Amino acid sequence: GAGVSQSPSNKVTEKGKDVELRCDPISGHTALYWYRQSLGQGLEFLIYFQGNSAPDKSGLPSDRFSAERTGGSVSTLTIQRTQQEDSAVYLCASSPSVKRGVPYEQYFGPGTRLTVT
């Protein structure tokens, strides 16, 4: 019973480069979420997928950030032209489904620590 996995676990990149972060959700989970945890800050919502579509992208901080999900499974978060303020831990979570008012458990991966130099 594998949990949510993320890769890479750590990524160091130079300012201006593009990066891709990967999330493998728990098998069968239709909902997938990306969050960001900056140093000393609480987690903040970035985007939510139901299947392959993203009904809520409201947390993406700028148009440099994008995400996709294919086959209702793996998701990739892409950050273009990285800036130093993008340095953070990026966490992915998945849940069985989403239904209005029902508090489905969200299972988190270990995160990817991104450092932009």
Partner 1 sequence: KNQVEQSPQSLIILEGKNCTLQCNYTVSPFSNLRWYKQDTGRGPVSLTIMTFSENTKSNGRYTATLDADTKQSSLHITASQLSDSASYICVVSRMDSSYKLIFGSGTRLLVRP
Question: Do residues 33 and 93 make contact, with C-beta atoms less than 8 angstroms apart?
Answer: yes
Least distance to partner 1 from the beta carbon of 100, Å?
7
First-last CA distance in the chain: 37
DSSP 29-97: --EEEEEEE-TTS-EEEEEEEETTEEEE-TT--STTEEEEE-TTS-EEEEE-S--GGG-EEEEEEEES-
| x-or-dash string of contact with partner 1, 97-116, rule CB under 8 A | -x-xxxxxxx-xxxx-----
Judged by CB under 8 A, does residue 1 bind partner 1?
A: no
Among positions 21, 45, 74, 115, the unique one binding partner 1 when judged by CB under 8 A? 45
Q: How far apart are CA 13 and CA 5, in angstroms?
A: 21
Q: Which of residues 51-90 bind partner 1 (CB under 8 A)?
A: 56, 59
The residue (of 76 and 106) whose beta carbon lies closer to partner 1 is: 106
Among positions 23, 48, 65, 82, the unique one binding partner 1 when judged by CB under 8 A? 48
Contact positions toward partner 1, by CB under 8 A? 4, 31, 33, 35, 40-45, 48, 56, 59, 91, 93, 95, 98, 100-106, 108-111
